[in-house]
Chains A and B, each alone.
Chain A
Amino acid sequence: MTYAVETIDLTRVFKRGKSTIKALDNVNISIRKGEIFGLLGPNGAGKTTLIRILATLLLPTSGEAYVNGYDVIKEPDKVREIINIVSGGERAGYGILTVRENLWYYSQLYGYGWREGWKKVDELINLLDMKDFANVRLNRLSTGMIQKYNLARGLINDPKILFLDEPTLGLDVEVARYIRKIIKNLVRENPDKTILLTTHYMAEAEQLCDRIAIIHKGRIIAEGTSDDLKHMVSKEKIFKVEVRGIVGALDYIRKINGVKALTYKGDIVTGVTSIRLVLSDNDLISKIVEALNEKRFKVLSVVKVEPTLEDVFLKLVGARLVE
């Protein structure tokens, strides 16, 4: 079986002066054709490095990588014909030219020619509802418009495999929702298309992806459907506790036997700290409330919640995905 994307023991080491950084450490993934595959991990986990290798922009230090069966090292030209990348926060293009002109330029790089190029551009402008700003110079676009333009550029060659690297990064809720809808529809309407999506937004991964891999410090630490991953914390009890005041390191809670992981986030404006706990037993929560009271923190609420991918990450890594 030919996978849309397959990596075998893929490793990439960067040298920075005398030290070395292992950005990818024996990564093995197999993405089936027609799948939306999510790569979930914090900043610096290795997501972008993986995409850059798959997109033939970077050579691996060791291991193998195939895109639609083509070797990214030996057959980069074949890989480039069938892929494209859209990155969040990307501002590639020529500011003095309009959206249409920029897209036409990219169409030439895929061999469309003059007329076919303009035709393809107009198709994408209609598809992504970009008529309002199609003739506006790129340097005058808002962040949301830029990302729609980026997506149009990413679809210009009708790629079989699309790499989306944090595509909704920095976008407002409405535009992010729109971009996600387009991604979802794209695969629904073209079942032969495959998407590799990197994100650190768990909701996005859950909403869009058929399967998800969690990457941390260059290693894939878990892989499966969203339900498979959540099943990893099915035995644990997840609680969300809100307390008045900004708490410290909470080491006295971590030390309680049965506390598997915890994270907390203080809101300076409201003065409330939200603590998320992964516990082995329901009864432990009373001990925790007691410990907080002893430290003179007023407990505002205690809620038992359904596990999320955040809890999976928390259990596996011991830290929050998004700090």
Chain B
Amino acid sequence: MNRKFKLLFLAAFGRAYIRIVGGNRELSWILWEIILPLLMVTSVVYAYQSLGAPGEYIGFVILGGAMMSYWFNVLWGMGSSLYWEKERGNLEVFMITPAPLEGLLLGMALGGMFNTTLRASSMIIVGVLFFRAKFVFETLPTAFLIFFLTLLALYSLGMAMASLYLMYSRSGWRASELLSEPIMFLSGLYYPITVFPMILQIIASILPLTIGLDGIRRSLILGENVLDLTWHVFLLSAMIPILMVIAVKLLRYMEYKAKREGRLILRWM
């Protein structure tokens, strides 16, 4: 195996292991991770129920909440993780190894996906068992395909976000904040984006989270199959390489700039 590829794979594996083992070592952490996000989703479900919304809306909200967990993981778990790695001195130790930085980020992404999947799964289980959310399981492969493509696009975006933290440290939080609420608003996590005026719908449609969430809802709630959702698959597949290239280029550029300006391992900033 090519040395560079081997190092990328092992660094990702090592970092994911740390995130999964470390993140689940304390039972109380797992409970907090799962229970607290459920409260938000539950409150929206109750709001819909009290308004007498159709039953499909429950599944709609549950899926929105589950996907929101991934988006928050991308923004705060992956992007800002690099800031904490820097603050603790772990980034310095990583950067003197021959392992590529992409390996560290990939490991964070995989570890984050695993932990977030625990959270997202618990939401779906609670939704099915307690709120009687109804899903169409025949189209599960289509939902998984779109889900997988959405994650690739989102975590590529996360890698680009992380490069901002590499250079700007704490100031990178501003970028995360900028992408947090507006994207929650635009991606229709708790409502269909058809409620927006056309111009906002077009803007929202360029976000991978909006497309992915819409595709997953259509397949799991409305029972649409992959042929009905080719446009979703096409758009996400086109976004992934673009976002990946942008992320890698940005990462390389920020790494160079940070080394030149002496910010790569500068702490307390």
Q: Identify B21's interface contact among A58, A97, A110, CB under 8 A.
A: A97
Interface size on B, as a range, is 20 to 34
A108 and B92 contacting across the interface, CB-CB below 8 Å: no
Q: Classify the interface of chain A: helix, strand, loop or mixed.
A: loop
A59 to B255, CA, bound (A): 11
Within 8 Å CB of B174, what residues of A?
none
Assess whether A297 is interfacial by the CB under 8 Å rule. Answer: no
Q: Identify B25's interface contact among A77, A80, A96, A111, CB under 8 A.
A: A96
Greatest chain A CB density within 10 A among B15, B22, B94 is at: B22
A14 to B95, CA, bound (A): 21
A109 and B14 contacting across the interface, CB-CB below 8 Å: yes
Greatest chain A CB density within 10 A among B11, B13, B94, B262 is at: B262
Q: Which of B66-74, B96-104, B127-135, B153-161 is found at the contact surface with chain A?
A: B96-104
A56 to B11, CA, bound (A): 19
In chain B, residues 140-159, which have Cβ atoms closer than 8 Å to a Cβ of chain A?
none
Residues 78-116 of chain A: 1 if any B CB is under 8 Å from the residue's CB, otherwise 0? 001101110000111110110001001111111111000
Known contacts A94-B90, A110-B98: A57-B259 contact under CB 8 Å? yes
Within 8 Å CB of A14, what residues of B?
262
In chain B, residues 81-110, which have Cβ atoms closer than 8 Å to a Cβ of chain A?
88-90, 92-99, 103
Within 8 Å CB of B34, what residues of A?
none
Interface size on A, as a range, is 20 to 34
B89 and A56 contacting across the interface, CB-CB below 8 Å: no
User: B: which residues have CB within 8 A of A?
Assistant: 3, 6-7, 10-11, 13-15, 17-18, 21-22, 25-26, 88-90, 92-99, 103, 256, 259-260, 262, 264-265
A106 and B96 contacting across the interface, CB-CB below 8 Å: no
A104 to B17, CA, bound (A): 10
Greatest chain B CB density within 10 A among A84, A93, A94, A112 is at: A94
B262 and A105 contacting across the interface, CB-CB below 8 Å: no
Q: Identify A106's interface contact among B22, B26, B93, B256, CB under 8 A.
A: B93
User: A: which residues have CB within 8 A of B?
Assistant: 14, 52, 55-59, 77, 80-81, 83-85, 90-94, 96-97, 101, 104-113, 153, 157
Within 8 Å CB of A93, what residues of B?
88, 90
B96 and A97 contacting across the interface, CB-CB below 8 Å: no
Within 8 Å CB of A92, what residues of B?
88-90, 92-93
A99 to B96, CA, bound (A): 20
The smallest beta-carbon distance between A154 and chain B, in angstroms, is: 9
The smallest beta-carbon distance between A108 and chain B, in angstroms, is: 3
Within 8 Å CB of A109, what residues of B?
7, 10-11, 14, 94, 97-99, 103
Within 8 Å CB of A96, what residues of B?
22, 25-26
Could you write out 15 A-B pairs with CB less than 8 Å apart?
A56-B96, A56-B259, A57-B95, A58-B259, A84-B96, A85-B92, A90-B89, A90-B93, A93-B88, A96-B26, A107-B14, A108-B10, A109-B10, A111-B6, A157-B97
